[in-house]
Structures are given as C-alpha cells and as structure tokens.
Amino acid sequence: MIRLSLLALTLTSLLWTACQSDKPKFTSSSSQIQLVTDNNPRWVYENLRLYPVTADASLISENQSLAQLKTLAEGMHTPGFRLLEHKQFGKQEDNWFHALTVQNKSQDTILMLSGDVVKGGNQDRVIAHHEVIMPMTVRNIEVYCVETGRSTYYDPQASPAEKDIAAFKGYYNVASPSVRRAVHQSQNQQEVWNAVATVTKENDANSATSAYTALDAETESKKRRDAYFTHLKEAFTDRQDVVGMVAVAGGEVLGVDIFGSPELFRKEMGALLHGYIAESAAKTHAEVASEEQVRTAYNRVAKLSAVHAKATDGIGKFSWNGHWVHLFGQ
C-alpha cells in the first residue's frame, strides 16, 4: 500500500511538472531595474518625495544605443529640426489644432514624449503620443491644445512669411501628471483643457489665453515651485545608474517614469520634475504614502519591461529599435 501511494505521488509530481513546462514562460527584465526606498534628505522637499529607480550594468550595456536619442528640448535647438502648424494639402480641416508637422532635416534622431509641451505656433500644444523622428524626414503628429484663448500666430509683429510657416519657437516642459493622464487615457480635448485649467488655477497661473505655460508667470506660487526645483533637480547626481523615479506627494503617488538608459533619464528629469512640482506644490498633504503604496505603483509600471507585457489603464510603454525606451504611469 505504501509503495502504491509513493508511486501515485511520484506520477502526480511528474504530471504537474510536465504541465508547468507546457505553460508559456514569462520573460521579464524587471530584475534589471530596482526601486530604491532609502531615506535620503536630498530626495525630499516639503511634501514631494522622489524614489530613484536604478538599472544594473547589463541593462545599461544592452541599451547603449538609446543614448543617441536627442530629447525634444534638444531638438528645438537643433538646426534643421522644427515644429510647424499642420501643413494641409487641399481643403482646410476643422480640427487643425490636433496635428502638427515635424520637419527633421538634421542628422539627429529626436525622441518626443507624450506630455511634452511646446510653445508658439497658433497655440501652445502638448504631444499626444511618444514619437521618434528619424533624420531627413517630414511627418505629421497628433497633439492637443493647452491654450484655449489663442488661435493665431503668437507673434503679431512677425512677417507674413514667418506667419505662413507658423513655427514653434520653444520647448516648455513635460506636462503635469493630471494633464498627461488626460492626454494618454481620455484622449479628449475638453478633458485636457479641464486638466490645464485645474493645475493653472491651483498654482495662481492665470493668463488671458488660459495657457498651461502661464505657470512661468512670476508669482509667489512660482517662487515656491522654484525652491522645489532647486532642491530636487540634483537629487540623483551622485549616482550614474538611475534610470527613473517614482514621485510621491504626501499620501499620493503622482507617477512613475522609467527610461531605458541613465543618459535619457538625466536629460528628461528636469522637464518631468517641473510637472510633478506643479501638481504637488500647491497642495497640502497631511498623509504620507507607505512603502507598500510606492512599491505597488512601481511594480505596475516595472512589469512592462517584460518583452511581451502590454500596457493597460493608467500605465504605458514605448519601445523603439528593439528596446523599451520609456515606461510610465500617472
């Protein structure tokens, strides 16, 4: 009887193992990135706390090619690269404000993030989707308006030729998490305007054209935000392996941004930080987020580093040239 029981147990074990080997394997590189939850005063200012995400040497080596990408902020200063109002061929479209034309006559490859804000043209815009603009290409991209009160070229004194080109003259920053969320999840112009109205009102950034970029108006609120930025912009400069961060305001996780290389993150951090500060500096938070909350938010995004992992509500993944470039959640 004992022998029969042992035989049955052995067969059951073998069958279970065989069944397990038939299941598709979940390949993930999430072990190559890690959330750091140390208590470091350099990572905290008032109610905003940043948690760095680091990458191991293997991931940094695998993704060396991503260092060639220029950010949109760099692209706007690159000769031969420019953003223009949508160039029409034939009848003018009613929703002209939902598209821009990108000309890249340079030899550089430009990365545009969903949430990047550009100034100028006939109204300020936010980029709708992640894009990589290859050298010597011209293409149209989708955008949303972040300035409701203007629909003419920003410089009334410009020459007719300049107005006809309707070029954008400046990069601003990455929008706040609530605006990015409206762009990425709702994909609705009114929701984007609503998010812009909320964040500018909370930061006393009123303007005649209701522009998101009015956050740069010299106010007491801006002075406070500048203090946040001054303290936090150098938060991770003592480490060369940081590829992202989790931003927490009081008891709320504002968002997670993880890049495929340290170089990309270093170049994008300031622009991202600007949006996180706009979302947190105007609020008072009595609660403090637990480490479990932070890890849960991080894990939801980090799992997208798996080769076949798919984005779901609230989290996104952008890949290019065989590598994941940006994992994010708001």
| Chain mean pLDDT for the chain | 88
Name which of 56-70, 91-105, 214-228, 266-280 the model is least confident about: 91-105
Domain regions of the chain by residue span: 27-329
Whether 24 has a pLDDT exceeding 60, the answer reads no
Average pLDDT over residues 74-94: 81
The pTM assigned to this predicted structure is 0.87
Whether 5 has a pLDDT exceeding 60, the answer reads no
What is the Cα–Cα distance from 252 to 49, expressed in whole angstroms?
Answer: 10
Average pLDDT over residues 223-232: 97
What is the Cα–Cα distance from 48 to 247, expressed in whole angstroms?
Answer: 7
Residue 87 pLDDT level (bands cut at 50, 70, 90): confident
Average pLDDT over residues 222-236: 97
**Residues 67, 176, 277, 221, Cα dihedral to 10°:** 140
Residue 309 pLDDT level (bands cut at 50, 70, 90): confident
29-51 pLDDT per residue, tens = 468 999 999 999 999 999 999 99
Residue 259 pLDDT level (bands cut at 50, 70, 90): very high
90-139 pLDDT per residue, tens = 455 556 679 999 999 999 999 999 999 999 999 999 999 999 999 999 99
Determine if residue 226 is left, alpha or beta; phi over 0 gives left, psi from -120 to 50 gives alpha, anything else beta.
alpha
Query: Terminus-to-terminus CA distance in the chain, angstroms?
Result: 60
Residue 156 pLDDT level (bands cut at 50, 70, 90): confident
Q: How many C-beta atoms lie closer than 10 Å to residue 238's C-beta?
A: 9
Residue 163 pLDDT level (bands cut at 50, 70, 90): confident
Residues of the chain with pLDDT > 90, as a percent, come to 75
Contact criterion met (CB below 8 Å) for 281 and 49: no
